[in-house]
Amino acid sequence: MVNETVHKELLKKYRAHFGRDPEVVAYAPGRIEVLGNHTDYNEGFVFSAAINFGTFFAASKCETTGCHLVAGDLMKEVSFDLQHIEASKTDTWQNYVKGTLAGLAGVKAPSCGFDGMFFGNIPLGSGLSSSAALEMCAGLALGQLYGISVDTVTLAKIGQKAEHDYAGCNCGLLDQISSLAGQAGKLVKTDFRSVAFETAELGADACFLMCNTHAKHALVDGAYNKLRASCEQAAAHFAKVLRHPVKALRDVSMAEWAIYKRDLPEAVANRAAHPIGEDERVLKGAELLAKGDLPGFGALMFDSHESSRVLFENSCEELDAVVDAAKKIPGVLGARLSGGGFGGSVVVLVHPRDAETASIALANAYAAKFGKPCDVSVIKPAAGARVLK
Ligand code: GLA
């Protein structure tokens, strides 16, 4: 289910701005990361879900090679030529679309420019991957407009490259794959070595709350890239000392880590322990979910957050406060930070009958500590990105 109010608003804004209806419209949802933090670029496993918040992209062909792109929330337009798709230091939102267009153009050169507009309801900087949603809806819409067809993994990689080359964040593939592969009521479990994904039923006894702390989300400030570099440094060390091939931290077990971490700087060893432990938790979580053991799955989410807080150090005071409050609220099964870290949102697993009382209790607990409530929304795992017109 797309949000029809947001969809209609986009069409209205598009008509008012460009004086015509768009030829194509595509939609892509944001995502929550449920278990498996910073495992994607370590070639490990993640449970995630596409969510019921997303972004729409409307576009029509132009007669020239001029491209006109409007951010529908700001009603701000930027223009550039198809022959010069360069990252901008101002109005950086355009870079996600430009990077995606550049990726599509690498598959087949578009014949003309476009009039495009995007608009959605994913809170920015909340850790729900508004940027990947923008890349994926732009990719689907422009792909459809120009007749450039790419498969799911290729489109996800185009979005990832846009993040690397145009936005400066060396992210993995999680956000793009989740936005594309989501299914209503289901979690997506992805193996980021083969980039093979499958869905797992969540069941009617569970839903998620997203608690947006509005704390700063610092991914492109370099913190994310530094964590990734530490993981790669650790993987290179384990590749030297273990007697089996190690391509990424996915190939190292917790038992091996404990024995062979000694020559690593302590901080780097701790960073490595997080994705290694997360992989084990995702695999354990898959078994528990298959048995319908939601409390067991939720306990792994709490462990995941603790590992972020202590070992990976990608949590912050605000996220910790939400998780601590969640532990004391009846009906809450699990809670952890979702995504890169350093702010953004906490994802909370709760029985649907407890969702409302838990939301109020979380907002109140946060307000008591920080003087203002966090925003709590009920998240339903939703269908993935698609072309609507
Ligand atoms: C961000 C990145 C993803 C992933 C998560 C952490 O969302 O974009 O690739 O690494 O952080 O799991």
What count of other Cβ atoms lies within 10 Å of the Cβ of residue 78? 16
d(CA 374, CA 92): 26
Q: What distances in angstroms separate CA 292 from CA 191, 280, 286, one per listed residue? A: 21, 18, 10
- Of residues 285 and 127, more confidence is placed in 285
State whether the beta carbon of 148 lies less than 6 angstroms from ligand 1: no
Q: What fold characterizes domain 4-201+383-387?
A: Ribosomal Protein S5; domain 2 (3.30.230)
State whether the beta carbon of 228 lies less than 6 angstroms from ligand 1: no
Asked which of 8-12, 200-204, 366-370 is least confident by mean pLDDT, the reply is 200-204
Closest atom of ligand 1 relative to the 40 alpha carbon: 10
State whether the beta carbon of 332 lies less than 6 angstroms from ligand 1: no
- For the residues 215-240, what does the mean pLDDT come to? 87
Whether the pLDDT of residue 219 is over 60: the answer is: no
pLDDT of 221 reads 63
Average confidence score pLDDT of the chain: 96
Which residue from 174, 189, 337 has its CB within 8 A of the most atoms of ligand 1, so it is best to mutate?
174
Whether the pLDDT of residue 218 is over 60: the answer is: no
Whether the pLDDT of residue 186 is over 80: the answer is: yes
d(CA 256, CA 252): 6
Delimiting residues of CATH 3.30.230.10 domain(s) in the chain? 4-201+383-387
Ligand 1 centroid from CA 223, angstroms: 12
Dihedral of alpha carbons 89, 90, 96, 98, sign: negative
- For the residues 179-190, what does the mean pLDDT come to? 97
Ligand 1 centroid from CA 341, angstroms: 9
Delimiting residues of CATH 3.30.70.890 domain(s) in the chain? 207-379
- For the residues 66-77, what does the mean pLDDT come to? 97
pLDDT of 204 reads 87
- For the residues 294-302, what does the mean pLDDT come to? 98
Catalytic choice (40, 175, 251, 279):
175
Whether the pLDDT of residue 362 is over 70: the answer is: yes
Stated pTM of the model: 0.96
State whether the beta carbon of 33 lies less than 6 angstroms from ligand 1: yes
Residue 127: pLDDT band (50, 70, 90) is: confident
Give CA 348 to chain center in angstroms: 16
State whether the beta carbon of 135 lies less than 6 angstroms from ligand 1: no
- For the residues 223-237, what does the mean pLDDT come to? 96
pLDDT of 222 reads 84
State whether the beta carbon of 38 lies less than 6 angstroms from ligand 1: yes
pLDDT of 373 reads 87
pLDDT of 329 reads 96
Asked which of 177-181, 214-218, 257-261 is least confident by mean pLDDT, the reply is 214-218
Closest atom of ligand 1 relative to the 41 alpha carbon: 10
Ligand 1 centroid from CA 339, angstroms: 5
251 is annotated as an active-site residue: no
Which residue has the CA at smallest separation from atom 10 of ligand 1? 38
Closest atom of ligand 1 relative to the 127 alpha carbon: 7
Which residue from 171, 190, 228, 281 has its CB within 8 A of the most atoms of ligand 1, so it is best to mutate?
171
pLDDT of 126 reads 82
Ligand 1 centroid from CA 17, angstroms: 35
State whether the beta carbon of 318 lies less than 6 angstroms from ligand 1: no
Whether the pLDDT of residue 27 is over 90: the answer is: yes
pLDDT of 210 reads 96
pLDDT of 171 reads 94
pLDDT of 124 reads 81
State whether the beta carbon of 44 lies less than 6 angstroms from ligand 1: no
Residue 203: pLDDT band (50, 70, 90) is: confident
d(CA 15, CA 10): 9
Ligand 1 centroid from CA 175, angstroms: 7
Asked which of 33-47, 116-130, 213-227, 285-299 is least confident by mean pLDDT, the reply is 213-227
Superfamily covering domain 207-379: GHMP kinase, C-terminal domain (3.30.70.890)
- Which three-class secondary structure string do you get for the chain? CCCHHHHHHHHHHHHHHHCCCCCEEEEEEEEEEEECCCCHHHCCEEEEEEEEEEEEEEEEECCCCEEEEEECCCCEEEEEECCCCCCCCCCCCHHHHHHHHHHHHHHCCCCCCEEEEEEECCCCCCCCCHHHHHHHHHHHHHHHHHCCCCCHHHHHHHHHHHHHHHHCCCCCCHHHHHHHHCCCCEEEEEECCCCEEEEEECCCCCEEEEEECCCCCCHHHCHHHHHHHHHHHHHHHHHHHCCCCCCCHHHCCHHHHHHHHHHCCHHHHHHHHHHHHHHHHHHHHHHHHHCCCHHHHHHHHHHHHHHHHHHHCCCCHHHHHHHHHHHCCCCEEEEEECCCCCCCEEEEEECHHHHHHHHHHHHHHHHHHHCCCCEEEEECCCCCCEECC
Ligand 1 centroid from CA 12, angstroms: 33
